């Protein structure tokens, strides 16, 4: 079934793309959640007009994300954790913990948009990347301290 995407869906396409998917996936998931609509000949013609609006909206969102990225580069997050012998943590610091600390600072960031190079299992200073938009990332500092 051919559909037109209304939202960016990872591994499927961008807003306004016409893609082929299985009928059940379209009818039971994408269309009821308003992620897509059926690609009829009339809808495909209307898509050309919508693409201009979508492109303008995406440029604006990317510009806002780039401004937010400059603010994020100065952000530091401190996470207190229980520490055992030799400075090793009980468990590890997760993206969820970092997201909660960012929410306390007033930034609503989903844990799936936080990327760590390696798992954090010791005390110290670590770098994390926060995905703000499709190609816009910000670096934050994560301090792990005994608490």
Domains in the chain with CATH codes:
2-62 (3.40.5.10), 70-146 (3.10.430.100)
Residues in the chain, pLDDT under 50: none
Torsion angle (degrees, nearest 10) of CA 91, 95, 99, 100? -20
Give the pLDDT score at 142: 92
Give the pLDDT score at 48: 78
Give the pLDDT score at 78: 92
Of the candidates 97, 96, 85, 95, the one whose C-alpha atom is nearest the C-alpha of residue 123 is: 85
- 113, 103 contact by CB (below 8 A): no
- Looking only at the bridges linking them, the beta strands covering 36-38 and 120-122 are unpaired
Give the pLDDT score at 129: 92
Spatial distance between the Cα atoms of 46 and 134, rounded to a whole number of angstroms: 25
Give the pLDDT score at 2: 92
Cross-strand partners of 2: 20
Spatial distance between the Cα atoms of 109 and 143, rounded to a whole number of angstroms: 18
Look at residue 24 and give its three-state secondary structure: helix
Instruction: Give pTM, 2 decimals.
Output: 0.67
What's the pLDDT tens digit per position in 28-70? 999 999 899 898 888 888 777 777 887 888 899 889 988 888 8
């Amino acid at each position: 079934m051919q559909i037109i995407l209304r939202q960016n869906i990872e591994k499927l396409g961008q807003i306004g793309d016409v893609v082929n998917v299985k009928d059940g996936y379209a009818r039971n998931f994408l269309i009821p959640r308003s992620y897509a609509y059926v690609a009829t000949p009339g809808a495909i013609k209307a898509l050309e007009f919508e693409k201009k609006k979508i492109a303008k909206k995406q440029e604006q969102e990317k510009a806002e994300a780039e401004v937010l990225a400059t603010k994020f580069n100065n952000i530091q997050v401190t996470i207190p954790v229980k520490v055992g012998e030799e400075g090793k943590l009980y468990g590890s610091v997760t993206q969820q913990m970092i997201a909660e600390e960012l929410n306390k600072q007033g930034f609503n960031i989903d844990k799936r948009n936080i990327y760590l190079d390696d798992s954090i299992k010791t005390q110290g200073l670590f770098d994390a990347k926060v995905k703000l938009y499709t190609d816009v990332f910000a670096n934050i500092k994560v301090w792990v301290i005994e608490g």
